[in-house]
C-alpha cells in the first residue's frame, strides 16, 4: 500500500464523514440534548483534549476531545465543545496531538495457555534447534523439582523443510524426566523418550484417528514429534495445571494484552478450569478485559455434550465473561498436511492426501444446526479450502433449518479459500476471522506451504481484501501464543503483506492488501461485532464504555512499514487506567 493510496483513503473517509455529518445534523442535535443536560449537572471525571481521535464510528469521524464519567464516554467532539464538560475536579489530559483509538479487540487468542507457557519453558522468540535445546536445559536446571517439563513456542521451520523435531535432541539434556513442548502453532507436540515411555508409545502404537505419530521410516519407532491429536497420547499423562498456575498465566496475559491496547478478546478455546480462572479473576476485580470464551467441542463425542456446554455457558456467563460460543476445530494445518484441502497435497511418491477432517462433514451440519438453534455462536478453526467449505456448508444447513438467528458464526484462520466460496461469507452472515500476521511470505508459506499447494491455489492464500470487497465482516485476531498479540504488527502486515520486522521486502499477493481504516475496523468495531459487544464497545461514541488506547503517533501520518514501531502509551478499560500513566503523557 503506497502512502498516496493511504492519503486517498483518508481523504475519502473525511468526505464520507462530512456527508454523514451533514445528513444527520438534525438527528445529532436531538440525540446530544440529553447527555449534555446531564453533563451540565455532573462534569466529566476525566477528559482528553487536543488529540487525533479516530473514533471508528459509522461515518469514521475524527475528534479532538473525549470526556468520561462513570466508566462511559459522555462526550466526543471538538476541544471547544469539551469545555462544557469540565468541572473543578475533572482531570484534563492534553494528548498533544497523539492518536486515541478505541481499545483493540482480539477475536482469536489463547491468553491462559499463552500466559501459562510464558511462565514455564518458553521457547517463543528463539529461532534454532540449538537455541531450543539450550533453553530446555536451562529451564530444567532451574526447576529440579518439576516432575514434568512443559512449555512450548518452537517453530517447525527451525528444523528445516520436511525435518521433524526429534526426541534425541531433548534426551541429550533431559534424559530422566518427561518433556512436552507445543509448537508455536499448537499443532505439533515435541517430546523426549521419557515422555513417550510414560505414554506407552511404541512402534506398535497405531496413529489415533485425528493425528499422526511421526516415525522413523526404517524402524517404525516414534521420532519424538506428534502431530495434532497424537499429542494427546502424551498430554493426557501430564498432571493438569493447578488453579494457581492457571491464574498466574491469566494474570500475565491480562497485563501483556492491556499493555498492547487490548481491552476485549475472544478466547478461542476454553474448558471448565479456564472458565473458572476467568471467573475467579473477574470476581477479584482483576479481569480488565471483556472476554468471550469459546467452549471446546470434544470431537470424539457427539450431541450429548451439548448439555455440558449449556451448563458451562449458564454458570460462567456473568460479569466480564460471556461463554455463549462453541469452538469447533475442523482441520489441522497445511505444514503437516492435516488441513483439509479440495485438491490433494503435492507429495511426490506418496498416496494422495486430502488432510484430516476433525468432524465428519455431514455430522458437522447436524452439530452446527443444533448449536445454532440452542443460541450458540460457532467459532470454527478452518485452514484448508476443504475445511472452510465444510464449515460454510454447515452454517448454510443451520440457516435452512433455523433461519438467521444472528449468532455471527465465524471462521478463523482461512488460509486457502476457493474463490467460489468468498461470497458465501456475506450471504451466510459468517464473519471472516483472519490472523493477518501470517499473510506474508515467511518460511511457513514459502517452504512448508507453497510447494505442496500447486500454482493456482497459491494465489488464494489469506485473501483478506477479497473478503473485505465481498462485503463480509472481517475481524482480526492474533492466535497468541502462536503469534505476537501486538495488533500494530498485525495491522502493518495486513496493509503491506510484508514481515512487520522487515523479514520480507516484497508484498505477498499484493492485491490482497487492505487499507488502514479497514485494518483498524477489523481490530475494533468488527472484532467487537463478532464478540457481540458492539453496542458497548469497539468505537469511541457517547454512551459506550471508555475502552481506549493512546498511541505515541498517528498511524495515518506514518509510512505503513512504521506502524509496528508505534507504541501504546496508555490503555483505559471502562475508564480506568490499566496500562501507562496519565501524568506521563
Binding site for Zn ion (CB under 5 A): 268, 479
Residue corresponding to grid cell 479481569 = 287
Residue spans of alpha helices (H) in 83-166: 111-118, 129-142
Nearer to Zn ion, 268 or 475 (CB): 268
Name the residue nearer to Zn ion (CB basis): 479 or 518. 479
Reading the block at residue 266, the C-alpha cell is 475472544
Specify the residue, 223 or 383, whose C-beta has the smaller distance to Zn ion.
383
Nearer to Zn ion, 320 or 481 (CB): 481
Closest approach of Zn ion to the CB of residue 479, in Å: 4
Is the Cβ of residue 65 or residue 268 nearer to Zn ion in the bound state? 268
Between CA 316 and CA 296 the distance in angstroms is: 14
Smallest distance from the beta carbon of 166 to Zn ion, in angstroms?
26
Q: What is the DSSP letter of 240?
A: P
Q: At what angle do helices 25-41 and 3-23 cross, to 10 degrees?
A: 80
Residue 191 or 268: the one with the smaller Cβ distance to Zn ion is 268
End-to-end CA separation in angstroms for the chain: 31
- CA angle 371–375–379, rounded 5-degree value: 60
Provide the minimum distance between the beta carbon of 495 and Zn ion in the complex, in angstroms, as a whole number.
23
- In the complex with Zn ion, the residue whose CB is nearer, 268 or 391, is 268
For the CB of residue 315, give the shortest distance to Zn ion in the complex, in Å.
24
Which residue lies nearer to Zn ion by CB, 111 or 499? 111
The CA-atom distances, in angstroms, between 273 and each of 126, 206, 312, 340, 412 are 30, 31, 10, 30, 23
- Between CA 107 and CA 412 the distance in angstroms is 9
Determine the Cα–Cα distance for residues 526 and 72; give it in Å rounded to an integer: 20
Distance in Å, CB of 380 to Zn ion, minimum:
11
Q: Cα 445–451–457 angle (5° rounding)? A: 75
Nearer to Zn ion, 187 or 457 (CB): 187
C-alpha cell at 280: 475467579
What is the distance between the alpha carbons of residues 19 and 510, in angstroms, rounded to a whole number?
Answer: 31
C-beta of 261 vs 477, nearer to Zn ion: 477
- Nearer to Zn ion (CB atom), residue 76 or residue 430: 430
Phi, psi of 49 (to 5 degrees): -130, 170
Is the CB of 45 or the CB of 479 nearer to Zn ion? 479
> Do residues 394 and 363 make contact, with C-beta atoms less than 8 angstroms apart?
no
Q: Min. distance of Cβ 50 from Zn ion in angstroms?
A: 40
Which C-beta is closer to Zn ion: that of 152 or that of 517?
152
Which one, 210 or 479, has the nearer CB to Zn ion?
479
46 vs 268 by CB, closer to Zn ion: 268
Q: With H, G, I as helix, E, B as strand and everything else as coil, classify residue 535.
A: coil
Residue 258: closest CA among 63, 472, 111: 111
Give the cell for residue 427. Answer: 450471504
Q: How far is the CB of 249 from Zn ion (least distance, A)?
A: 16
- How does DSSP classify residue 208? P
Report how far Cα 320 is from the mean position of its chain's Cα atoms.
Answer: 18
Q: What whole-number distance in Å separates Cα of residue 402 and Cα of residue 552?
A: 48
CA 250 – CA 255 distance, rounded (Å) = 9
The three-state secondary structure class of 357 is: coil
CB of 437 to Zn ion, least distance (A): 13
Q: How far is the CB of 108 from Zn ion (least distance, A)?
A: 6
Give least dist CB 327 to Zn ion, A: 8
- Give the nearest distance from C-beta 328 to Zn ion in angstroms: 12
- Least distance (Å) between residue 152 CB and Zn ion: 13
Q: Three-state DSSP class for 87?
A: coil
C-alpha cell at 376: 450458540
| Distance between CA atoms of residues 44 and 330, nearest Å | 49
User: Which H or E run contains 411?
Assistant: strand 410-413
Decide: residue 304, CB within 10 A, 0-12 exposed, 13-18 middle, 19+ buried.
Answer: exposed
Q: Which triple of cell numbers denotes residue 554?
A: 498517528
- Of how many residues is the chain composed? 585
List phi, psi (to 5°) of 535: -70, -35
* Min separation Cβ 185 and Zn ion, Å: 8
Q: Where are the alpha helices (DSSP H) in 326-384?
A: 361-373
Work out how close the CB of 478 gets to Zn ion at its nearest, in angstroms, rounded to a whole number: 9
C-beta of 280: minimal distance to Zn ion in Å?
A: 23
| CA separation for the pair 262, 527 (Å, rounded) | 11
Amino acid at each position: 500500500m503506497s502512502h498516496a493510496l493511504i492519503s486517498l483513503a483518508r481523504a475519502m473517509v473525511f468526505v464520507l464523514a462530512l456527508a454523514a455529518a451533514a445528513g444527520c445534523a438534525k438527528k445529532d442535535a436531538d440525540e446530544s440534548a440529553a447527555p449534555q443536560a446531564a453533563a451540565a449537572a455532573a462534569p466529566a471525571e476525566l477528559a482528553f483534549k487536543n488529540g487525533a481521535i479516530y473514533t471508528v464510528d459509522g461515518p469514521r469521524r475524527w475528534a479532538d476531545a473525549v470526556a468520561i464519567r462513570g466508566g462511559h464516554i459522555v462526550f466526543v467532539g471538538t476541544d471547544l465543545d469539551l469545555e462544557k464538560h469540565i468541572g473543578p475536579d475533572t482531570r484534563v489530559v492534553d494528548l498533544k496531538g497523539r492518536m486515541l483509538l478505541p481499545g483493540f479487540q482480539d477475536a482469536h487468542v489463547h491468553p491462559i495457555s499463552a500466559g501459562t507457557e510464558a511462565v514455564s519453558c518458553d521457547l517463543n522468540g528463539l529461532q534454532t534447534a540449538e537455541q531450543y535445546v539450550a533453553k530446555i536445559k536451562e529451564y530444567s536446571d532451574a526447576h529440579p523439582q518439576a516432575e514434568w517439563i512443559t512449555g512450548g513456542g518452537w517453530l517447525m521451520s527451525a528444523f528445516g523443510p520436511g525435518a521433524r523435531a526429534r526426541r534425541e535432541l531433548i534426551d541429550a539434556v533431559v534424559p530422566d524426566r518427561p518433556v512436552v513442548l507445543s509448537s508455536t502453532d499448537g499443532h505439533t507436540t515435541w517430546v523426549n523418550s521419557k515422555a513417550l515411555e510414560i505414554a506407552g508409545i511404541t512402534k506398535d502404537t497405531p496413529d489415533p484417528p485425528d493425528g499422526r505419530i511421526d516415525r522413523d521410516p526404517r524402524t517404525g519407532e516414534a521420532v519424538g514429534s506428534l502431530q495434532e491429536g497424537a499429542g494427546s497420547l502424551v498430554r493426557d499423562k501430564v498432571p493438569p495445571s493447578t488453579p494457581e498456575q492457571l491464574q498466574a498465566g491469566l494474570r500475565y496475559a491480562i497485563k501483556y494484552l492491556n499493555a498492547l491496547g487490548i481491552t476485549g478478546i475472544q478466547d478461542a478455546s476454553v474448558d471448565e478450569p479456564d472458565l473458572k480462572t476467568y471467573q475467579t479473576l473477574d470476581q477479584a476485580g482483576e479481569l480488565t478485559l471483556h472476554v468471550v470464551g469459546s467452549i471446546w467441542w470434544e470431537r470424539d463425542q457427539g450431541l450429548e455434550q451439548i448439555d455440558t456446554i449449556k451448563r458451562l455457558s449458564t454458570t460462567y456467563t456473568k460479569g466480564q465473561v460471556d461463554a455463549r460460543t462453541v469452538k469447533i476445530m475442523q482441520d489441522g494445518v497445511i505444514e503437516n498436511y492435516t488441513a483439509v484441502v479440495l485438491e490433494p497435497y503435492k507429495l511426490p511418491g506418496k498416496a494422495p492426501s486430502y488432510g484430516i477432517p476433525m468432524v465428519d462433514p455431514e455430522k458437522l451440519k447436524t452439530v452446527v444446526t443444533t448449536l445454532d438453534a440452542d443460541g450458540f455462536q460457532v467459532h470454527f478453526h478452518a485452514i484448508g479450502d476443504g475445511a472452510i467449505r465444510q464449515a460454510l456448508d454447515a452454517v448454510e444447513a443451520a440457516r435452512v433449518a433455523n433461519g438467521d438467528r444472528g449468532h455471527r458464526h465465524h471462521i478463523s484462520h482461512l488460509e486457502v479459500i476457493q474463490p467460489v466460496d468468498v461470497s458465501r461469507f456475506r450471504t451466510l452472515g459468517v464473519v471472516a476471522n483472519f490472523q493477518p500476521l501470517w499473510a506474508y511470505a515467511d518460511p511457513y508459506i514459502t517452504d512448508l506451504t507453497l510447494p505442496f499447494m500447486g500454482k493456482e491455489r497459491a494465489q488464494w492464500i489469506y485473501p483478506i481484501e477479497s473478503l473485505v470487497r465481498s462485503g463480509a465482516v472481517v475481524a482480526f485476531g492474533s492466535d497468541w501464543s502462536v503469534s505476537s498479540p501486538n495488533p500494530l504488527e498485525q495491522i502493518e502486515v495486513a496493509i503491506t503483506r510484508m514481515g512487520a520486522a522487515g523479514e520480507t521486502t516484497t508484498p505477498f499477493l499484493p492485491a490482497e492488501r487492505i487499507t488502514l481504516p479497514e485494518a483498524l475496523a477489523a481490530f475494533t468495531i468488527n472484532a467487537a461485532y463478532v464478540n457481540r459487544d458492539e453496542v458497548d464497545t469497539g468505537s469511541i461514541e457517547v454512551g459506550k464504555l471508555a475502552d481506549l488506547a493512546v498511541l505515541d503517533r498517528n498511524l495515518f501520518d506514518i509510512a505503513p512499514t512504521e506502524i509496528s514501531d508505534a507504541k501504546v502509551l496508555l490503555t483505559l478499560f471502562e475508564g480506568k487506567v490499566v496500562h501507562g500513566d496519565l501524568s506521563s503523557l
